[in-house]
Structure 1
Amino acid sequence: MPLTGPLIRRVHWPLMERFKQNRTRVYINDLREAQNLSIEKLRARQSAKLGQLLEHAVHHVPAYTEFAEEWHASGGSEEPSRFLQRLPQLEKSRFRQEADRYVTIGANPAELIANRTGGSTGEPTRFYLDRPTVERYEAARWLGLSWYGIRIGDPSVMIWGSPIELNRQDARRYQLKERWLKNRLMIPAYDLDQSRIDDHVRTIRRFRPVYLYGYASALALLAEIMLQTGRKLGVPLKAVVSTAETLHDHQRKLIAEAFKAPVVNEYGARDGGIIAYQCPASGMHAFSENCYLEVVDPVTGVQLPDGKTGVLLVTDLYNRVMPRLRYQLGDMLALSPKTCTCGMGYPVLQEIDGRVDDMFVSLNGSFVHGHFINHIIRNMESFRTFQLVQHEPWRLTLRLVKDPEHFRADDEEKVLQGIRSALGDVRVQVEYVEHISPTASGKTRYAIRECPLTVSP
């Protein structure tokens, strides 16, 4: 309803700020002011925050107290970023096994906000945040959306997973909260097919959102169905925001064509917060006020220079109840040595290559990102979609969904040749399937590696 947005901005948010001390809008203003600072000033502010976090962690977090003596020995003469590199990377598996050691000693249970990852790539990771950290994540998202003229309370339709862990009563309460306190309507990402397209389009038209928000694969699938069936949305959008998955070029093209709106990439994770947002000049700006990012070699762990792709390590600069220093989020990316033409001082991500688990290993020991299969198959009309799984360096499964009208038998051999050209003389089992099932969260994975990122000699 047209009044819902103004009521959220003028009534609900002021009440939250007064009675719950919510400071999200204060943090939005802080981030907006910081985006106009010079690169040097932003780095100095980030370094100071990192130093404060390290001071807290080595004194109050059991997992890091063993570094207290080294920290004091440095006497503040060493850059916090240099000292941080002495600490080991924090892998998710290790964090899950020792999670209690990362909770701050004496943390107030009333201030702990439990959260968990969706587990779409394995076992869910459970962790704690505090209210200021959650609000800073939200502030980063709203700042990014504001670059496209989107305001708090503006209506949006989410192409999203379902709150499957909730019982029916809690799910109903969740939906009411989304609708009336956040002005958001949800279309399940796992319920997208051609037979439901008219229902989905009617839902979107009735709600008249200012923007769409969802998984890259789900938005692309909805766009593809609309284009195939000749449907038009008929609602002017300020943006279509893709999140939670790598946004591939072919998906961006489909989404832009179907919805006639800017396609905006949001980069973040439940256990990493909102890390970066794409500006109208196409730069992916990292919110250096909230986090410290490192990119390291996936095998040696050595820090890589800007422009080189490696494993991302995230250090949240504000979470005091459960600090995770050098946390391996599981993604591959590169930091850019360049600034953005938009003029903002926030650093820029050069490229986001997806998850570490999407990175394949060839028989000669080199690494090949799973995106290579996109480049091979997306130029072929024979297949609607696909999935490539590397079980061992020499053994893979390729799942293909045919397009009956355009299928050519010789295209399968072309795909196999492309795979072997990238990975070596590997064994590939081809399976033709009716569809590629998304995970329980609604995400769809096109490239999956199940073996270690090494090859035995």
Structure 2
Amino acid sequence: MSVKGFLIRHVQWPLMERLKENRTRHYLRELQDAQDTSPPQLIERQREKLKRLLRHAVHNVPAYASFAAEWEVSRVPPEHFLQRIPVLSKAHFRRHANEYLTKGIDPTKLIGNRTGGSTGEPTRFYLDRRAVERYEAARWLGLSWHGIQIGDPCVMIWGSPLELNQHQARQYRWKERWLKNRLLLSAYELDERRLDTQLALIRRFRPAYLYGYASALYMLAEMMLARGWTVGIPLKGVVSTAESLHEHQRKKITEAFEAPVINEYGARDGGIIAYQCPRGRMHAFSENCYLEVVDPITNLPLYPGESGALLVTDLHNTVMPRLRYQLGDVVALSSQTCSCGISYPLLETIDGREDDMFISQSGKYVHGHYFNHIVRNMESFRTFQIIQHEPQYISLKLVKEPDRFQPADVNRLLAAIRSALGEVSVQVTYVDQIAPTGSGKFRYAIRECPLTSGQALE
């Protein structure tokens, strides 16, 4: 047992709760109680929270003030009233952010945050402590399903903290190491030449689990398997987050680290939305958020099992409510229940980002997974990146597999692209590597032109 972890659980956290009124463990107990209730009870609990949020938003938030009169006379359930409010796009929110602040709130007393801005301008927003603590509680609940406790040692394969200077970055790493029992390894510095050093750091730290970007964990796993190396210590799990986790990545990570892969689904501007249970299903934390899935073109609601754009309503962020916020991801809800006994509702699939979807010349959309499946079946390429700048203009970056490259595979790939998208112009460039985005993530499929939609706030 980790002595530092024991001290964090039994000394540091009780002190935080007493001196700083941290309520993370209180919210964790609430979430634990909720997961044992029946699905109808969960729905009713969520409905009451949504009702309180809507009442607050229409009376106290300028962006929603025009709905106040309608709210007062409405007799429909809150989830039906919510559908009368336009979808909130990131672009609209960025331009009108101040209108979403609750009246009388002093932003200097709030917690400022921002998205990574991996394909465009970052989105800046505010939270209060209680909302952040509820996110953390959801993460710890999901980890607890796999035997991971608060304070357990963790190695994080992560990007750099956003907007920190060198001194602040050092402080951040110190706090992570000594107050949270986490060792940070940079996702930017994964290099076969330093693999032995990085594995030695992991072994010396003896983590209970690893936590990192799906692509970074996959890259590390591939390097280990190529050399026949293992991490050499037992792990409770490897937590994949921040990116879509593909099945081929899961298999490689499981093989390399000899541990189960646990999928975490969340976002800076959406909180911790769902966690994978030991049976492999993704449970959404309905106590913290209300989720909708809509057609990405029309914004009309979709049935469970149908993939579409995810809309998130954070039920606890009352300082800056964002109702029906279009997170940018493509998911499908599920009407099934899970045999694990956890009552939280299920996500059927998480298909990645909305801007991973491409527009064909005929107006249909094609998910970026399509290109990933094609390239993965070709031995000529180590990796790739495809970007749709305009519906008819594509750029394709390819990293060759030196000993296996076949020029005919390039023609096969171009034919597959045009089969899906129509007669598009494709600019092919051969590169030595695909650089990560500013936050350290790797993006393989990116659409820069907008999907047509007339019903969202743009």
Partner of 1:354: 352
Q: Which of 387, 399, 414 in structure 1 is aligned with 2:385? A: 387
Q: Does 1:3 find its partner at 2:6?
A: no
- Letter in structure 2 aligned against 1:84: L
- Letter in structure 2 aligned against 1:8: I
- Letter in structure 2 aligned against 1:94: H
Q: Does 1:169 find its partner at 2:167?
A: yes
Question: C-alpha offsets along residues 83-119 of structure 1, whole Å, 9 cap, x if unaligned?
Answer: 0000111111111111111111112556411111111
Q: Give yes or no for contact 1:361–1:454 (8 Å, CA) kept in 2.
A: no
Partner of 2:191: 193
Q: Give yes or no for contact 1:279–1:285 (8 Å, CA) kept in 2.
A: yes
| Residues 121-200 of structure 1 aligned to structure 2 (within 5 Å) | 121-163=119-161, 165-200=163-198
Q: Give yes or no for contact 1:383–1:401 (8 Å, CA) kept in 2.
A: yes
Note the residue ranges of structure 2 that are not aligned, 5 or more in a row.
454-458
Measured in 1, the distance between the counterparts of 2:388 and 2:406 equals 25
Question: C-alpha offsets along residues 295-348 of structure 1, whole Å, 9 cap, x if unaligned?
Answer: 111111111111111111100001111111111111111101211121221110
Note the residue ranges of structure 1 that are not aligned, 5 or more in a row.
none
Q: Give yes or no for contact 2:155–2:182 (8 Å, CA) kept in 1.
A: yes
Q: Give yes or no for contact 1:281–1:341 (8 Å, CA) kept in 2.
A: yes
| Residues 83-122 of structure 1 aligned to structure 2 (within 5 Å) | 83-109=81-107, 111-122=109-120
Question: C-alpha offsets along residues 7-63 of structure 1, whole Å, 9 cap, x if unaligned?
Answer: 111111000000111111111111111111111110011001000000111111111
Percent identity between the two aligned chains: 66
Q: Which of 340, 343, 368 in structure 2 is aligned with 1:345? A: 343
Q: How many residues align?
A: 453
Q: Which of 214, 220, 245 in structure 2 is aligned with 1:222? A: 220
Name the stretch that deviates more: 156-165 or 239-248.
156-165
- Letter in structure 2 aligned against 1:406: R
Partner of 2:373: 375
SS at match of 1:64: helix
Q: Which of 295, 308, 311 in structure 2 is aligned with 1:313? A: 311
Measured in 1, the distance between the counterparts of 2:56 and 2:390 equals 43
State the 1:398 CA deviation. Answer: 1.3
Partner of 1:304: 302
Measured in 2, the distance between the counterparts of 1:324 and 1:152 equals 30
Measured in 2, the distance between the counterparts of 1:164 and 1:269 equals 14
Partner of 1:433: 431
| Residues 227-376 of structure 1 aligned to structure 2 (within 5 Å) | 227-376=225-374
Q: Give yes or no for contact 1:401–1:432 (8 Å, CA) kept in 2.
A: yes
State the 1:375 CA deviation. Answer: 0.8
Name the stretch that deviates more: 355-364 or 159-168.
159-168
* TM-score where L is the length of structure 1: 0.97
Measured in 2, the distance between the counterparts of 1:206 and 1:125 equals 38
Measured in 2, the distance between the counterparts of 1:31 and 1:19 equals 23
SS at match of 2:442: coil
Question: C-alpha offsets along residues 328-371 of structure 1, whole Å, 9 cap, x if unaligned?
Answer: 11111110121112122111001111111100011111111011
* TM-score where L is the length of structure 2: 0.97
Partner of 2:456: none
Q: Does 1:55 find its partner at 2:50?
A: no
- Letter in structure 2 aligned against 1:266: E
Measured in 2, the distance between the counterparts of 1:229 and 1:155 equals 26
State the 1:164 CA deviation. Answer: 5.0
Measured in 1, the distance between the counterparts of 2:335 and 2:20 equals 41
Measured in 1, the distance between the counterparts of 2:215 and 2:183 equals 19
Name the stretch that deviates more: 156-165 or 256-265.
156-165
Name the stretch that deviates more: 141-150 or 225-234.
225-234
Measured in 1, the distance between the counterparts of 2:109 and 2:276 equals 32
Question: C-alpha offsets along residues 238-297 of structure 1, whole Å, 9 cap, x if unaligned?
Answer: 010010111111111111111111101100001100000000101100000000000111
- Letter in structure 1 aligned against 2:14: P
Measured in 2, the distance between the counterparts of 1:444 and 1:205 equals 26
Partner of 1:415: 413
State the 1:121 CA deviation. Answer: 2.2
State the 1:452 CA deviation. Answer: 2.3
- Letter in structure 2 aligned against 1:217: S
Partner of 2:445: 447
Q: Give yes or no for contact 2:2–2:152 (8 Å, CA) kept in 1.
A: no
State the 1:453 CA deviation. Answer: 2.2
- Letter in structure 2 aligned against 1:42: L
State the 1:2 CA deviation. Answer: 3.2
- Letter in structure 2 aligned against 1:246: S
State the 1:65 CA deviation. Answer: 1.1
Partner of 1:41: 41
Measured in 1, the distance between the counterparts of 2:420 and 2:14 equals 56
- Letter in structure 2 aligned against 1:69: A
